[in-house]
Amino acid sequence: MKKIFLLACLLLAATTSLKAQSLYETVYNSAISKVNNPQSAQEQIEVSQFEVTALNYIFNEVKKRGLEKSAYFYDSQAVNLKSFVDDFLYYVQKARAISTDKRKEVIKIYRDASLKNKLFNDTNLDRVLCYVNDTKTLTPFSLDTDWEKAYDEATAKVKAVLK
């Protein structure tokens, strides 16, 4: 379902005005506005701050490494990151209603998918794992994540666990 949405959004963006905002910018700006909104709940701020950090990480790593990436790459990573985080929060809540063990299993599925599906193979583990190593974060994910692959993996596994 998410793949169809992504393709529809990309097609729509390509056919709208030349000033159309990319999906990457849309996700980024939405997260920034939640972080800066004094009316945002603390949980929403923390989650949005992770999204901002992850998107900045991708942009800066591409630039630092001198890679050339298309708008589709950035848009796909942003949409999959947003879907990954939103689904994670949904499934953690759903699992919590079943049991503490199911909740822990869902967290592990998403954390492991983020760790396993690396985008840059960055060796700066202190930076890459800063959210994973923070026991108080709502988003225990690696910054060095291919969000499209991680989303696909986590989605397949979590649905099997929560049948």
Q: What is the pLDDT along the chain (163 residues), one digit of tens a residue?
A: 454 444 444 444 443 333 346 999 999 999 999 999 999 999 999 999 999 999 999 999 999 999 999 999 999 999 999 999 999 999 999 999 999 999 999 999 999 999 999 999 999 999 999 999 999 999 999 999 999 999 999 999 999 999 8
E strand or H helix at 24:
helix 23-36
**pTM for the structure as a whole:** 0.87
Q: What are the tokens at 26?
A: 């849309």
What is the rounded distance in angstroms from the CA atom of residue 153 to the CA atom of residue 159?
10
pLDDT at 10: 47
